[in-house]
Amino acid sequence: MAQKYPQISLKRGKEESLDRFHPWVFSGAIHHMPEGIEEGDLVTITAHDGRIIGSGHFQIGSIAVRMLDFGDTVIDKDFYYTRLSQALALRRCLGLDRPDNNAYRLVHGEGDFLPGLVIDIYGSTAVVQAHSPGMHYARQIIAECLVSLPDANIKNVYYKSETTLPYKARLDPVNDYIIGSYETDIAVENGLKFHVDWLKGQKTGFFVDQRDNRSLLQHYSNNRRVLNMFCYTGGFSVYAMRGGAVKVDSVDSSAKAVALTRGNIDLNFPGDTRHSAYAEDAFKFLETMEPDSYDLIVLDPPAFAKHRSALRNALRGYQRLNAMAFKKIAKGGILFTFSCSQAVSKEQFRLAVFSAAASTGRKVRILHQLTQPADHPVNIYHPEGEYLKGLILYVE
């Protein structure tokens, strides 16, 4: 079928990365664009010689088009239904949709060939986040497809894009249910229960990307005194409790996060006195705490570098934070340390942690190198999709 979308042609040679299925067209690659194209419009991309490459969503900015299809498929409801069905099939293959686990990422942008779209599932509720104007305009169709996916049991679709859409696009998105309404805020991850606050919480309400790493932490928690720094909803703390930690302290600078953590501990371990939570700044807490107070420390800070321009400061931040933990952790201690900054590479993060270790003179060995879980797949043609990095270190 011939394409019906306005055609944007590329400069000579600029089709090469697209021919390798990289899903972004940078504004500098554009040779000609017809008048009247608006943000969020579907456009067809052609090479300099007129050959059709595929189609995607246009937006103003350095990434001008996010490719949805490398062919001549029409981007309609059937298109979204097919992509969402494929995404669900993958999560089923991963065994994530089970009675004891109903929290998982269904769509991870480029990793699911749907650039600009993130969908997390919490039981019967899907939380949809648009990162591009095109996905904002497609939200109703996407919601309708979600509730019609066979056996997925998705009944409610909450749209949450007030902070993820480009501000300048003036879309004025409203966070609200597109379909259905509030049912329950309790989701289950590996048999543990969590309140998920998609209305007011960060991102979609819960960090599903740490699921596998939390399981690993459970494995290492037995008989250890655990410090969960940057705890947010207390995911690592709840797993540490199940793993048999003798003491678990959770710290976050946000009082709201501390309350969420307490709530989640109560939900799984009511009345258990092993846990305490503190609303404090991480650097201050680490600075003032007694050495040898903890045998296992988790450092899972927010992205220190949201953009490349902030890279140097971010690396310094990681180095300082990790050095503080190396200084204070007990002998034979285990450090779980993470970076979720996309702008920081695995090598750069490792170097920052290496410098931190060296500055304290501790003997440190890498036990595990961690990354994002399989429901956050990385499209091999879009290596930028790899963002979560972690190390589990043995500190003598």
Q: Which residues bind ligand SAH (CB under 6 A)?
A: 207, 210, 230-233, 235-236, 252-254, 257, 281-282, 300-302
Structure tokens at 5: 């979308």
Q: What is the token pair recorded at 119?
A: 């969908």
User: 321, 352 in Cβ contact below 8 A?
Assistant: no
Please, are residues 305 and 343 in contact by the beta-carbon 8 Å criterion?
A: yes
Write the CA distances from 56 to 53, 115, 294, integer angstroms: 10, 9, 50
Catalytic site includes residue 340: yes
- The one-letter amino acid at 52: I
Strands 125-130 and 156-159: parallel
Q: Quick one: 356 exposed, middle or buried, by C-beta within 10 A (0-12, 13-18, 19+)?
A: buried
Question: Rounded to whole angstroms, what are the CA distances from 143 to 138, 181, 195, 300, 347?
Answer: 9, 13, 23, 32, 39
Q: Give Cβ neighbours of residue 180 (< 8 Å, ≥ 6 apart).
A: 124, 125, 147, 155, 156, 157
Helix (H) or strand (E) holding 237: helix 235-242
Alpha helices in 276-345 (DSSP H): 282-288, 311-328
Rounded Cα gap, residues 171 and 136, in angstroms: 8
Count Cβ atoms below 10 Å from residue 139 Cβ, excluding itself: 18
CB of 236 to ligand SAH, least distance (A): 5
Q: CA-to-CA distance for 264 and 245, rounded, in angstroms?
A: 16
Q: 181-207 burial, b for 16+ CB within 10 Å, e for fewer?
A: eeeebebbbbebebbbbbeebebbbbb
CB of 13 to ligand SAH, least distance (A): 42
Name the residue nearer to ligand SAH (CB basis): 230 or 349. 230
Which residue, 100, 1, 106, 98, is CA-closest to 55? 1
Comparing CA positions, the residue from 69, 91, 7, 9 lying closest to residue 44 is 7
Active site residues: 340
